[in-house]
Amino acid sequence: MLKLIQSKLEDPNEPFLGPNLKSLHFWGIILPNNAFKRKIYMCMHASLLLFASIVYVDIWFIRSDFDLLLKSIKYNLLTTINCVKIVTFVAWQGEWLDVIKYVSNADKKSRAKNNEVQNGIIQSYTRYCRVVTYSYWFLTCCTVLTVVLQPIAKYCFSPAYRESVRNGSELFDQVLSHKAPFNYDHVPEYIIALTYTTWATVYAGGLINSFDTISICIMVFFKGELQLLENSCTMLFEGGDKGSVFRNVRECQNRHAELVKYASVFNGCLSPIMFLYVLVTSFGLCASVYQITIETSTMQRLLTAEYAIFGVAQLLFYCWHGHDVIHASHSPMRGVFESGWWKHNHCRKEILLLTGQLDQRVYFTAGPFFNLTLGSFVNILKGAYSYYTLITQKQ
């Protein structure tokens, strides 16, 4: 069954980004060319934006209940991130499609070369991206199910809450707390509100899957492309004659310039979202830890812990792969020094120019404040712990 599903997700025309592109098209992040389908997806996106607005209205009405307010803000911020993803991807769709097109074409060119070492690198990062993509999808599905089934789980495993609902002293929980334009204390209105919040949660999960996995896979590709460029630089003098060396140098220069160009475009699209990610993850983590400490139900603690793990994993994926790209950006220049350049006196000037160009660092940022590295991730966790300490002392 799993192999059948995997075969359906693969695309022979897109050997690297096949599953990710299908996910982007399925959830409407890449808008279709058909005008009718485009309008449907735009209405779905607008509906999610509307949902994000009504959940913030509810914050005003529950501001006196600190625990409920903390829970509501934690989930609402995640919804806000998804709305920002939709708006920025649609607004900057040209830049995103240019980066995706570059990644796809560069990958196909590398696969067309009959080089055993480079083929091994390509297969390695392709297999790694599949593992990351499917693992991330599984983690997101578990989180969405956790959020959707949380009211049912609370009703089933909390006798006191179940009795309160039966005698009318407490209302049945919503999937996400929000202020609907009608009174959902009655059954018909409640069913409508429950259906709407469930759809919004599932749809937001699909957007998280699509956006995050395509972004992470692009970051993995940049690391792999730098490794391939290193291998090409080690073979600069394989042709032997001066003309072959000049062609190899020119190819490496153009390849690196194109990589730096599209890495900059990609960072421009991703950096504002990552800055919001840092804020949301920091608040969500400290809020989840605080809820775990005050929650009396074991099931509720497990559900909250799963949500916290998902939030931390999201940011860790970005910081981990951003750190890998920065480390790999040193590789191409090292490849030049491993090429045996000292044996050839006729092109030392060109080699010197090439090493100067390859000295540029490729990195990704979270706003204008810091780079996406493992050190930054540790600092974010320290900041989240400081917020948690502040909340507990305030309480």
For residue 221, is pLDDT > 90?
yes
For residue 377, is pLDDT > 70?
yes
Tell me the residue length of the chain: 395
Using the structure block, give the residue that is written with the tokens 């810091």: 370
Predicted pLDDT at 164:
67
* pLDDT tens-place string over residues 152-171: 666 666 666 666 666 665 65
Strand partners, 202: none
Token pair listed for 147:
């959020």
Sign, CA torsion 196/201/204/205: negative
Lowest mean pLDDT among 44-48, 209-213, 267-271: 44-48
Q: Average the pLDDT over 4-16 and give the result.
A: 76
Token pair listed for 138:
């599984």
- Cβ(229)–Cβ(257) under 8 Å? no
3-state SS string over the chain?
CHHHHHHHHCECCECCCHHHHHHHHHCCCCCCCCHHHHHHHHHHHHHHHHHHHHHHHHHHHCCCCHHHHHHHHHHHHHHHHHHHHHHHHHHCHHHHHHHHHHHHHHHHHHHHCCCHHHHHHHHHHHHHHHHHHHHHHHHHHHHHHHHHHHHHHHHHHCHHHHHHHHCCCCCCCCCCCCCCCCCCCCHHHHHHHHHHHHHHHHHHHHHHHHHHHHHHHHHHHHHHHHHHHHHHHHCCCCCCCHHHHHHHHHHHHHHHHHHHHHHHHHHHHHHHHHHHHHHHHHHHHHHHHHHHHHCCCHHHHHHHHHHHHHHHHHHHHHHHHHHHHHHHCCHHHHHHHCCCHHHCCCCHHHHHHHHHHHCCCCCCEECCCEECCHHHHHHHHHHHHHHHHHHHHHC
Please give the residue that has the higher pLDDT: either 210 or 350.
210
- Cβ(237)–Cβ(343) under 8 Å? yes
Predicted pLDDT at 139:
79
- Cβ(255)–Cβ(356) under 8 Å? no
Please give the residue that has the higher pLDDT: either 291 or 90.
90
Q: Which residues contact 216 (CB under 8 A, 6 or more apart)?
A: 129, 132, 133, 136, 317, 318, 321
Predicted pLDDT at 342:
66
Candidates 315, 295, 314; CA nearest to 305 is: 295
Q: What is the pTM of this model?
A: 0.85
Would you place residue 67 in the very low, low, confident or very high pLDDT band (cuts 50, 70, 90)? Answer: low
Q: Average the pLDDT over 251-267 and give the result.
A: 90
Candidates 197, 215, 211; CA nearest to 76 is: 197
Candidates 346, 339, 336; CA nearest to 256 is: 336
